[in-house]
C-alpha cells in the first residue's frame, strides 16, 4: 500500500534542515561499539545519515585512511579519481576525504570548477587512465545514490573501474572500524587549503572526454537526424552538467527539466512510502516527469549519481526497469555487430523474460548475485556484452566490443532509448508488448518485511539442502539454489524456480528487513501464491533454532 501523499509535491515541512544536517556531520561522533554507527559496506558502499551518527566526518576520515592503507599495501600508485553527487553531505565528505588522501601522499583528481561528477564518469576516467599509464588508478564516488536528502555515501571503485569486490570492501571496512575503535589512531590529515594546494591534488575535466566519446557507444547521429523531442530530468543530480555538454556537442532537441541543484530536493514528488527519494525507477518519485510524457517523443531521468535510468514513453509512461532491460538487450544484440560469444549479464532477481529473449537470440545468460560488481570483470575483459539489474542499473560495450564503463551508466541507457526510437521508429514500451505476445506476460513484484539480525544471518548462510521442498505455488520445484549459476558466488539468500515462476529471498545489507522477489508467467493470482509460499518458507526458518 502506498503513502497517501505518494506522487505529490514535497510539503515544505518535510524538507531536511541542511544547516542542522551539515553541523551534525562535524559535531556528532559515532560509537564504535554501536552496530548501527559502525562502517558497513553493503552492495554499494557505506551509507548513512549524520543525524543518525551513521555517516559523519569520523566515518569518512576512517574510510579514507583505510583506502590509503589498502592502496599502499596493494602497490596502487596511480591517481584516485573522485566523484561526488549533489546530496548535502557529499561536499563536506569530499573535503574530509581530500584532507586524508593528500596527507597520505595519494595523487587525487577532483572535478574542475567544483563540478559534480556522476558514477559512470569516474569509471570511464579510471579505464581511460589505466589504458595509457603503467601506474594503475582507482576511484571514489561520494554518493548515497537515490537515497533521501539526509543521507551520505562513500563507494570505492577498483582498478577495473567497477565497484570493488567483496573481499576488497571487507578489508577496507575492517580497517576503518579498527581506526574508529582506536580513537582514530594512525590517521593522517592536513588542512583542506593545504591539501588542495598541494601537488597531490589536481582538477580534472571528467565531462568533456566522456561526452565526446558517446558516439562510440550510442548512435548519436541517428538521434540528431531523427529530430526527436526529448526531455531529461537529472532529479537535481550530478548529471546536469553532462546533459548540458551533450546538447552543446551533439545539438539534440533535449530539454533539461529541473536544471538546478537544490540539496533539499524540494522539487521532487514523494516516493511510495512518503519519503523524498531520487529514484528514477519509481513512478511516484518520477510523477512530475510522467505527467509531461505526452509533451515529448521520449523522456528519461537519472538518480543523483546517474548510475540508474528511468525511461518515460508516451505509450507506457514510466517503463518497468525489467521491461526496459529486455528491450535494451534485444535491441543491442540485434543491432550491434558483436561476436556470438558475448554473454548477457543479469542479476538473479531480474526478470526471466531476459532468459526467454536470450534464448531467442541464441545468447548465453550469465546470472549473478545482486550487485553490479559481479559484471565488472566481464565488461572489462570484453566477454560480457551487457550487464543489468532489476533496480534500473546497466552498462554495455561500445560498437567495437571494447569496454565503456564497468559501473552502472544511466546516461547511456537513457540515450540508448532515444537511439531505439530513432532507429526503429517504435516506442520501447511497444517493443516490450511484442515480447509479451511472443513469450508470455510477466507478473513481477518485490515486497519487504521486517527481519531480526538472527533471521538475516540465517538467510545469508542458508544451504539449499535445508529446504525440503518439492513444490511451490502448486508447481513442482525445478531448482533451488543459494549460489548464482553464472559465477557460483553466494547469493546471500535463496532462489526457488518452477516451470512458470520463481521466488528469491535475501536480507537487506543496510536495513532490518528481508526482501522477497517473485515472478509468475501465469497470472497475478499465481504471483500472490508464490509470495505467500515464500513467506511461509521464511517463517519456518524463523521458527527453527
Per-position DSSP letters for 356-402, written without gaps between them: HHHHHHT--EEEE-SSTHHHHHHHHHT-EEEEEETTTEEEE--TTS-
What is the per-residue DSSP string for 202-217? Answer: EEE--HHHHHHHGGGT
**Using CA atoms, how far apart are residues 18 and 16, in angstroms rounded to an integer?**
6
Predicted pLDDT of residue 366: 98
Residues 355 and 230 in one domain: yes
All cell numbers assigned to 377: 570483470
**Using CA atoms, how far apart are residues 342 and 402, in angstroms rounded to an integer?**
11
End of a domain among 406, 439, 472? 439
Domain membership flag for residue 11 = no
**Which residue, 13, 36, 147, is CA-closest to 88?**
147
Predicted pLDDT of residue 288: 95
**Using CA atoms, how far apart are residues 463 and 161, in angstroms rounded to an integer?**
33
Kindly list the catalytic residues: 145
Residues 430 and 523 in one domain: no
Query: Backbone phi, then psi, for 123, in 5-degree steps?
Result: -60, -45
**Which residue, 180, 130, 172, 175, is CA-closest to 155?**
172
Domain membership flag for residue 4 = no
All cell numbers assigned to 398: 561500445
**Contact in structure between 38 and 30 (CB atoms under 8 Å):** yes
CATH number of the domain at 517, please.
3.30.310.50
Residues 462 and 511 in one domain: yes
Length of the chain as a residue count: 545
Residues 177 and 228 in one domain: no
Residues 295 and 171 in one domain: no
How does DSSP classify residue 319? Answer: P
Residue 53 Rama label (left phi>0; alpha psi -120 to 50; beta): left
How does DSSP classify residue 163? Answer: B
Residues 409 and 497 in one domain: no
Parallel/antiparallel/unpaired status of strands 138-142 and 108-111: unpaired
Instruction: Give the helix/strand (H/E) hosting 158.
Output: none
End of a domain among 175, 205, 235? 205
Query: 43 to each of 144, 221, 263, 482, how far by Cα in Å?
Result: 11, 36, 24, 17
Start-to-end CA span in the chain (Å): 33
Predicted pLDDT of residue 211: 98
Residues 35 and 170 in one domain: yes
Predicted pLDDT of residue 510: 63
**Using CA atoms, how far apart are residues 493 and 15, in angstroms rounded to an integer?**
36
End of a domain among 411, 439, 467? 439
Counting as low any pLDDT under 50, the low residues of the chain are none
Q: How does 308-326 read in b/e, with b if 16+ C-beta sit within 10 Å?
A: bbbbbbeebbbbbbbbbbb
Domains: count for the chain: 3
Residues 468 and 350 in one domain: no
Domain membership flag for residue 111 = yes
Domain membership flag for residue 271 = yes
Residues 220 and 127 in one domain: no
Range of the domain at 368: 212-439
**Using CA atoms, how far apart are residues 233 and 96, in angstroms rounded to an integer?**
30
Contacts of 327 (CB under 8 A, 6+ apart): 319, 420, 428, 431, 432, 435
What is the per-residue DSSP string for 263-309? Answer: TT-TT-B--TTSS----TT-TTTTHHHHTTGGGSSEEEEE-TTS-SE
All cell numbers assigned to 453: 539480525
Tell me how many degrees the CA angle 71-73-78 measures, rounded to the nearest 5.
35
Domain membership flag for residue 230 = yes
CATH number of the domain at 58, please.
3.40.120.10
**Using CA atoms, how far apart are residues 291 and 99, in angstroms rounded to an integer?**
44
Contacts of 164 (CB under 8 A, 6+ apart): 156, 157, 158, 172, 373
Q: pTM of the predicted model, to two decimals?
A: 0.96
| C-alpha Rg value of the chain to the nearest Å | 23
Query: 520 to each of 281, 515, 523, how far by Cα in Å?
Result: 21, 17, 6
SS3 call for 460: helix
**Residue corresponding to grid cell 509479451:** 436
Domain membership flag for residue 8 = no
Residues 248 and 272 in one domain: yes
Alpha helices (H) along 425-523: 428-439, 453-460
**Which residue, 134, 125, 136, 31, is CA-closest to 83?**
125
Predicted pLDDT of residue 85: 98
**Using CA atoms, how far apart are residues 356 and 326, in angstroms rounded to an integer?**
10
What is the per-residue DSSP string for 141-176? Answer: EE--TT--TTEEEEEEE-TTSSBPPHHHHHHHHHHH
Side-chain half-sphere exposure of 296, counting CA atoms within 13 A: 25
Domain membership flag for residue 6 = no
**Using CA atoms, how far apart are residues 63 and 58, in angstroms rounded to an integer?**
9
**Contact in structure between 410 and 307 (CB atoms under 8 Å):** yes
Residues 110 and 151 in one domain: yes
Give a three-class secondary structure readout of 456-522.
HHHHHCCCHHHCCCCEECCEEEEEEEEECCCCCCEEEEEEEEECCEEEEEEECCCCCEEEEEEEECC
**Contact in structure between 512 and 450 (CB atoms under 8 Å):** yes
Domain membership flag for residue 9 = no
Instruction: Give the helix/strand (H/E) hosting 521.
Output: none
**Using CA atoms, how far apart are residues 174 and 162, in angstroms rounded to an integer?**
21
Residues 24 and 129 in one domain: yes
Amino acid at each position: 500500500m502506498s503513502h497517501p501523499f505518494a506522487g505529490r509535491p514535497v510539503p515544505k515541512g518535510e524538507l531536511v534542515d541542511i544547516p542542522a544536517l551539515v553541523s551534525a556531520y562535524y559535531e556528532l561522533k559515532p560509537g564504535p561499539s554501536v552496530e548501527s554507527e559502525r562502517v558497513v559496506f553493503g552492495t554499494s558502499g557505506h551509507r548513512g545519515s549524520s543525524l543518525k551518527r551513521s555517516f559523519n566526518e569520523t566515518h569518512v576520515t576512517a574510510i579514507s585512511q583505510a583506502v590509503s592503507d589498502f592502496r599502499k599495501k596493494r602497490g596502487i600508485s596511480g591517481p584516485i579519481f573522485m566523484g561526488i553527487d549533489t546530496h548535502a553531505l557529499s561536499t563536506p565528505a569530499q573535503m574530509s576525504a581530500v584532507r586524508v588522501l593528500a596527507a597520505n601522499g595519494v595523487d587525487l583528481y577532483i572535478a574542475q570548477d567544483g563540478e559534480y561528477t556522476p558514477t559512470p564518469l569516474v569509471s570511464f576516467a579510471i579505464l581511460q587512465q589505466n589504458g595509457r599509464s603503467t601506474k594503475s588508478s582507482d576511484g571514489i564516488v561520494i554518493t548515497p545514490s537515490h537515497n533521501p536528502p539526509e543521507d551520505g555515501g562513500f563507494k570505492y571503485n577498483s582498478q577495473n573501474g567497477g565497484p570493488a569486490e567483496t573481499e576488497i570492501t571487507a578489508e577496507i571496512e575492517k580497517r576503518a572500524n579498527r581506526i574508529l575503535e582506536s580513537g582514530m589512531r594512525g590517521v593522517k590529515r592536513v588542512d583542506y587549503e593545504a591539501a588542495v594546494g598541494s601537488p597531490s591534488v589536481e582538477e580534472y575535466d571528467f565531462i568533456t572526454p566522456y561526452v565526446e566519446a558517446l558516439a562510440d557507444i550510442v548512435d548519436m547521429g541517428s538521434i540528431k537526424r531523427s529530430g526527436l523531442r526529448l526531455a531529461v530530468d537529472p532529479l537535481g543530480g550530478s548529471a546536469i552538467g553532462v546533459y548540458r555538454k551533450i546538447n552543446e556537442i551533439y545539438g539534440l532537441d533535449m530539454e533539461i527539466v529541473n536544471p538546478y541543484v537544490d540539496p533539499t530536493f524540494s522539487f521532487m514528488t514523494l516516493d511510495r512510502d512518503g519519503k523524498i527519494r531520487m529514484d528514477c525507477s519509481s513512478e511516484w518519485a518520477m510523477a512530475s516527469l510522467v505527467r509531461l510524457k505526452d509533451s515529448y517523443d521520449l523522456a528519461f531521468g537519472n538518480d543523483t549519481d546517474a548510475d540508474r535510468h528511468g525511461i518515460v514513453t508516451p505509450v507506457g509512461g514510466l517503463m518497468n526497469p525489467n521491461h526496459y532491460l529486455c528491450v535494451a538487450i534485444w535491441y543491442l544484440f540485434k543491432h550491434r555487430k558483436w561476436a556470438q560469444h558475448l554473454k548477457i549479464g543479469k542479476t538473479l532477481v531480474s526478470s526471466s523474460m531476459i532468459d526467454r529473449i536470450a534464448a531467442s537470440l541464441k545468447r548465453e545468460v550469465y546470472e549473478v548475485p545482486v550487485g553490479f560488481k559481479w559484471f565488472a570483470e566481464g565488461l572489462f575483459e570484453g566477454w560480457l556484452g551487457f550487464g543489468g539489474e532489476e533496480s534500473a542499473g546497466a552498462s554495455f560495450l561500445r560498437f567495437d566490443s571494447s569496454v565503456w564503463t564497468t559501473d552502472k551508466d544511466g546516461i547511456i541507457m537513457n540515450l540508448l532509448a532515444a537511439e531505439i526510437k530513432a532507429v526503429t521508429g517504435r516506442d520501447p514500451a511497444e517493443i516490450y508488448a511484442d515480447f509479451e505476445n511472443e513469450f508470455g506476460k510477466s507478473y513481477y513484484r518485490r515486497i519487504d518485511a521486517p527481519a531480526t539480525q538472527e533471521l538475516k544471518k540465517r538467510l545469508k548462510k542458508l544451504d539449499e539442502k535445508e529446504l525440503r521442498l518439492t513444490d511451490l505455488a502448486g508447481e513442482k520445484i525445478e531448482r533451488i539454489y543459494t549460489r548464482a549459476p553464472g559465477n557460483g558466488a553466494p547469493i546471500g539468500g535463496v532462489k526457488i524456480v518452477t516451470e512458470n515462476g520463481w521466488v528469491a529471498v535475501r536480507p537487506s545489507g543496510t536495513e532490518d528487513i528481508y526482501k522477497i522477489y517473485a515472478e509468475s508467467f501465469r497470472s497475478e493470482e499465481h504471483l500472490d501464491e508464490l509470495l505467500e509460499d515464500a513467506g511461509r518458507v521464511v517463517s519456518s526458518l524463523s521458527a527453527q533454532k
